[in-house]
Amino acid sequence: MCTSDLLCVTNRTLCREDFPVRIEKIAACHPAGIILREKDLEPAAYEELAKEVMEICDRHGVRCILHSFYDAAVNLQAEALHMPLHLLRELSPEQRSRFPVLGASCHSREDAMEAQALGCTYITAGHVFETDCKKGLPGRGLAFLREVCAAAGIPVYGIGGITAENAASVREAGAAGICLMSSLMTAENVAERMKAMEEPNEIR
C-alpha cells in the first residue's frame, strides 16, 4: 500500500529527458498516483501514450490517472480518470460510475461540492500559490484551501506553486496531499525532489 501523499501531474513539454524515462523515474519513487495531463494531444496520440505510461505504472504498482480523455480511459480499461469540471458535467452518471477513482480540478468551494455530488472520489484544488504555470495570476492562498477542505467530504490535493518550503502549510490547511508538476518534470534528481516534498513522518 502506498504511503505517499504526492500526486504527480505530467507536462511532457517541460520534460528535460525522454518522457517515458522520466515517468519511469517518478513511478520508481512510488507516489500516490501519476496524472497523465497531456491535453494538447489528439485523442489517438493520447491513447497511445497513455498505454505506455499505464504499463510503466503497473510495473511499479503506482496508480495511473488518465486526464480529460474519457474514450481513451474506457478503451484502455483504466480505473482512474481526472476531468476538468466542465467536462465532468458532460458525462452521464453511468459514464462516471465506470471509474472507481474519479477526480476533478476545482477552483472554489462550490466547485468542490459539485464535484463531490457528481461522484468524485478526490479533487485537486488550486492554484494555491503563485506559479509559473499561471503567470500573472496570484495564488488563491491557504484560506481558499482551508475553505475547500472544510467543505469537501472527499480528499483534497493542493496544487500550484507548492515547494518543500510551503508543503507543510498545505497539509496543515487540511489537504490530504499535494500535487507536483513542473518541479518533477524539470528536476535533475527526481528521487531527491520527491523526498524533499514528503512529510517528515512518511506514514500518514
pLDDT tens profile 115-145: 999 999 999 999 899 876 666 677 899 999 9
Answer whether 155's CB lies under 8 Å from 107's CB. Answer: no
- Which cell numbers hold the place of 95? 459514464
Q: In the predicted model, is pLDDT for residue 178 greater than 80?
A: yes
Distance CA 147, CA 126 (A): 12
Least-confidence region, from 73-87, 118-132, 142-156: 118-132
Answer whether 148's CB lies under 8 Å from 106's CB. Answer: yes
Answer whether 180's CB lies under 8 Å from 9's CB. Answer: yes
The secondary element (H helix, E strand) that includes residue 87 is: helix 85-88
Of 67, 82, 86, 127, which residue is the catalytic one?
127
Known active-site residue 107: no
pLDDT of residue 1: 41
- pTM > 0.95: yes or no: no
